[in-house]
Chain A
Amino acid sequence: MDERPVGTGHRVTRNVSASWPPPLSAVQAAVSGDRHALHGILTDGYPRMVGFFVGIGLNRHEAEDLAAESSLEVVISIARLRSPQAFEAWFWAIARNRLRTTFRKRRVPRPVDAEVSPATPEETAIISEEHARIRSAMSLLSTRDRQLLWLREVEGLSYDDIGSRLGATVGTVRVACHRARQRLEDVYTRGEEK
């Protein structure tokens, strides 16, 4: 996995799985119809999707549903992926679109902005104090900020990738990420002081 300096617009390497992002050869194979390769990609990508959806405020069950639907969308659409190099950005665009569609169907404006969904009892029992604090801090940010922070800081997408999928320039994404990070820092610190 390529380690690149943080802040240059390239990938921030903080991936849990050693096979994520998937190697270009695996993506190319999946695009050309190799279901075994696609299966491997989805197996590695699914937990990340679940994490993303929970991280921005959905409960576990909603997150799993959306991750499953997004995985399905990946299966359906991967043959149309024109540049396998941009797989990861494309993958997260699917997740974001699925999230947006879900919110639209609910007809409730940005429900996750109000409050992060409560963790399941099981998660509550084992969630650490630090995780509870960052979860609480994230709940005070906008959905856009949460997504930006998650994709950038947790998933390690480059500004280019985020910008291309958000329809924003790299500069705009940098500014937006910087401000989101500051807001997170503020609310996190305030919570710590309490």
Chain B
Amino acid sequence: MERFDPVQSSDATDALRSYGEWLQSRVSPDDALLAATRALGGHRPRTRRRWVVAVAVAGLLVISNVGLAAASDSAVPGDPLYGLKRAYEQVGDLLGVESHASERLREAEVLLARGHNDAALQAADEALEELNIPSGLGPFTDDVGEPAASNSELKALTEDLVSLARVVHESAKDSDSRQAAIEAVREQAKRVADMARSLSQGQGPTEDPGQDNGQGQGTPGSDHGGGPSDDSPSNTAPRNPNSKGRQP
């Protein structure tokens, strides 16, 4: 094999070497330094893997969040996903969602249908708070006793309250009908508060034998027509939302 030993250095190989040295000298030290720094800082494949992992995790989070958000959307107080729903609402607040009144009202309706008057009252109270209507329900919604929780008259009153609150929610701002509905809500909230108070204190409402458990609590916007069902001061209040005769 020695016969192939390339001992001879022709003009061509000398020219090639010279050319090679020239080419290498054409790369400035600054460029070389920059390239080395970039290579050390780049670490592209690992970065790419990190990106893949990050995107995958983000994707899973988005998918799971969307699924959970959808699943929790119909939750009401007492449901396992309700806390998550409220958490998403707080995120919505950060993003500029102005009111959750409609959602609270829907929850109140669902809870009333399930017979959970106490929780429905709380939801209604929160709805009124969202609608900026001082309800006076707060002190009672947290401490509704067993009689109140199962009382059908209180349930009917609360249904009316929710119906009225929905009218307020759906009416145009600064409209006369809205103002009237707000007044009606205040009146109805007072009745509900009085009823809840009396029930929690063990003083059941004076039932009018001629009426069927408060179904006569008709108010504007509600499905219930008729007059008051008991003699309590609150229930003697005018039902007309345009009336100025509110109890103090």
Enumerate chain A interface residues (CB-CB to B < 8 A): 6-8, 14, 16-17, 35, 38-40, 42-44, 46-48, 50-51, 54-55, 64, 67-68, 71-72, 74-76, 123, 128, 130-131, 133-135, 137-138, 149-150, 152-155, 170-171, 174-175, 177-178, 181, 184-185, 188-189, 192
| Residues B167-200 near A (CB distance < 8 A) | none
Is the pair A39, B12 in contact by a Cβ cutoff of 8 Å?
no
The smallest C-beta distance from B43 to any residue of chain A, in angstroms, reads 6
CA distance A11 to B165 in the complex (A): 92
Q: Which of A44, A46, A135, A171 contacts B19 (CB 8 A)?
A: A135
Q: Which of B18, B24, B37 contacts A47 (CB 8 A)?
A: B24
Q: Which of A75, A149, A177 contacts B16 (CB 8 A)?
A: A149
CA distance A46 to B36 in the complex (A): 7
CA distance A130 to B19 in the complex (A): 8
Q: Which of B9, B19, B36 contacts A131 (CB 8 A)?
A: B19
List B contacts of A47 (CB < 8 A).
24-27, 31-32
Is the pair B25, A16 in contact by a Cβ cutoff of 8 Å?
yes
The smallest C-beta distance from A18 to any residue of chain B, in angstroms, reads 13
Closest residue of chain B to A171, judged by CB? B1
Q: Which of A38, A40, A137, A154 contacts B12 (CB 8 A)?
A: A137
The smallest C-beta distance from B111 to any residue of chain A, in angstroms, reads 60
CA distance A171 to B26 in the complex (A): 34
Is the pair A150, B20 in contact by a Cβ cutoff of 8 Å?
yes
The smallest C-beta distance from B158 to any residue of chain A, in angstroms, reads 68
**Of listed B20, B32, B44, residue having the most chain A CB within 10 A:** B20
Is the pair A72, B21 in contact by a Cβ cutoff of 8 Å?
no
By Cβ-Cβ distance, the 4 closest A-B pairs, closest first, are: A154-B20, A42-B36, A47-B27, A71-B39
Given contacts A135-B19, A149-B16, contact A16 B24 (CB under 8 A): yes
Enumerate chain B interface residues (CB-CB to A < 8 A): 1, 4-7, 9-13, 15-27, 29, 31-33, 35-40, 42-46
DSSP majority for the A interface? helix
Is the pair B36, A71 in contact by a Cβ cutoff of 8 Å?
yes
List B contacts of A150 (CB < 8 A).
16, 20
List A contacts of B46 (CB < 8 A).
76
CA distance A131 to B23 in the complex (A): 10
List B contacts of A43 (CB < 8 A).
29, 32-33, 35-36
List A contacts of B35 (CB < 8 A).
42-43, 46, 64, 67-68, 71
Given contacts A39-B37, A47-B27, A123-B26, contact A153 B43 (CB under 8 A): no
CA distance A131 to B21 in the complex (A): 11
Report 19 cross-chain contacts, Cβ distance below 8 Å, ordered by A residue.
A43-B29, A46-B31, A50-B27, A51-B27, A55-B20, A72-B43, A75-B39, A130-B15, A130-B18, A131-B18, A134-B12, A135-B19, A138-B16, A171-B4, A174-B4, A174-B6, A184-B10, A188-B15, A192-B11
List B contacts of A181 (CB < 8 A).
6, 10, 12-13
List B contacts of A135 (CB < 8 A).
19
The smallest C-beta distance from B1 to any residue of chain A, in angstroms, reads 5
